């Protein structure tokens, strides 16, 4: 994905092309307000933003920040070499950066494409830091980012304190000991969990089938970065678009 910005003489307008969806179209309003409220000048010219490749549909608000940076660069308010950088983030009207979905897969792709630096909203820095071999800079706002790029303020590089191996105790909804009797069903569940085999439980209503199934997560070992990383490179969190994974859904993601 590349964001191209062009300013040309003509009636002031702001167009985004490249199959943007509604959220991307609305970036126009957010970018305009964010630039003004960060005390930069929004150019009164004909602005064309192209999201390349043009035949792929673009979704979501992650393009706000690159569009704003592009406008500031092409209007001469920002001079910096950004050839090896990638910008991600949704802008609020006052120029602050908001959490964006899908940071992890995008950062992973950026690294694979050989880019060295990524600028993300502060909220997403932890998520992005799961990818190694790439420099991550968490930005609070558009103004802070621009001053950093011009060398006036220095944003420290983000280093994760997240420790995957640390003891993690999720709270489970149900425990096997809550189910009375049914010892053979518990044994079958244990075997199924150990080898990840498919299992079918059959019995009259109210005998505890659903409760047994609810207890299953509590006997599964925790997911490790190993199973995410080495065997299926990030397929699991990328699928979830990482919805506040390290915060609210921590238990779900680590405890299956």
| Residues near another protein, by CB under 8 A | 57, 172, 175-186, 188-210, 212-213, 215-221, 223, 227, 231-232, 235-236, 239-240, 256
Please report how close the Cβ of residue 42 comes to another protein at its closest, in angstroms.
32
Distance (Å, whole) CA 180 – CA 57: 53
State how far the alpha carbon of 56 is from the alpha carbons of 19, 64, 76, 169, in Å: 7, 18, 30, 42
Nearer to another protein among residue 85 and residue 182 (C-beta) = 182
Please report how close the Cβ of residue 193 comes to another protein at its closest, in angstroms.
5
Distance (Å, whole) CA 95 – CA 108: 26
Please report how close the Cβ of residue 16 comes to another protein at its closest, in angstroms.
19
Nearer to another protein among residue 23 and residue 188 (C-beta) = 188
Contact criterion met (CB below 8 Å) for 37 and 48? no
Please report how close the Cβ of residue 248 comes to another protein at its closest, in angstroms.
16
Distance (Å, whole) CA 188 – CA 209: 12
* Max Cα distance, the chain (Å): 80
Three-state DSSP at 60 gives coil
Nearer to another protein among residue 73 and residue 192 (C-beta) = 192
Contact criterion met (CB below 8 Å) for 150 and 40? no
Query: Angle at the Cα of 235 (from 191 to 169), degrees rounded to 5?
Result: 55
Nearer to another protein among residue 113 and residue 184 (C-beta) = 184
Nearer to another protein among residue 163 and residue 177 (C-beta) = 177
Please report how close the Cβ of residue 55 comes to another protein at its closest, in angstroms.
11
Burial class (CB in 10 A: 0-12, 13-18, 19+), 241: middle
Phi, psi of 56 (to 5 degrees): -105, 135
Please report how close the Cβ of residue 222 comes to another protein at its closest, in angstroms.
9
Nearer to another protein among residue 114 and residue 195 (C-beta) = 195
């Amino acid at each position: 994905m590349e964001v191209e910005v062009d300013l040309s003489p003509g009636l002031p307008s702001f167009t985004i092309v490249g199959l943007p969806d509604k959220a991307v179209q609305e970036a126009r309003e957010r970018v305009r307000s964010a630039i003004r409220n960060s005390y930069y000048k929004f150019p009164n010219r004909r602005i064309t933003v192209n999201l390349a490749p043009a035949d792929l549909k673009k979704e979501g608000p992650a393009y706000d920040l690159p569009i704003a940076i592009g406008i500031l660069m092409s209007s001469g308010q920002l001079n910096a070499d950004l050839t090896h950088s990638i910008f991600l983030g949704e802008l609020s009207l006052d120029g602050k950066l908001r959490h964006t979905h899908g940071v992890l897969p995008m950062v992973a792709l950026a690294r694979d494409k050989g880019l060295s630096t990524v600028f993300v909203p502060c909220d997403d820095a932890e998520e992005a830091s799961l990818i190694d071999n790439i420099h991550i800079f968490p930005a609070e706002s558009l103004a802070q980012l621009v001053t950093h790029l011009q060398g006036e303020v220095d944003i420290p590089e983000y280093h994760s304190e997240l420790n995957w191996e640390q003891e993690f105790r999720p709270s489970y909804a149900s425990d096997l000991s809550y189910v009375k009797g049914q010892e053979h069903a518990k044994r079958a569940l244990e075997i199924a969990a150990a080898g990840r085999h498919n299992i079918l439980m059959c019995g009259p209503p109210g005998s505890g089938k659903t409760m047994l199934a609810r207890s299953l997560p509590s006997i599964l070992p925790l997911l490790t970065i190993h199973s995410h990383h080495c065997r299926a490179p990030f397929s699991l969190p990328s699928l979830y678009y990482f919805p506040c994974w390290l915060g609210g859904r921590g238990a779900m993601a680590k405890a299956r």
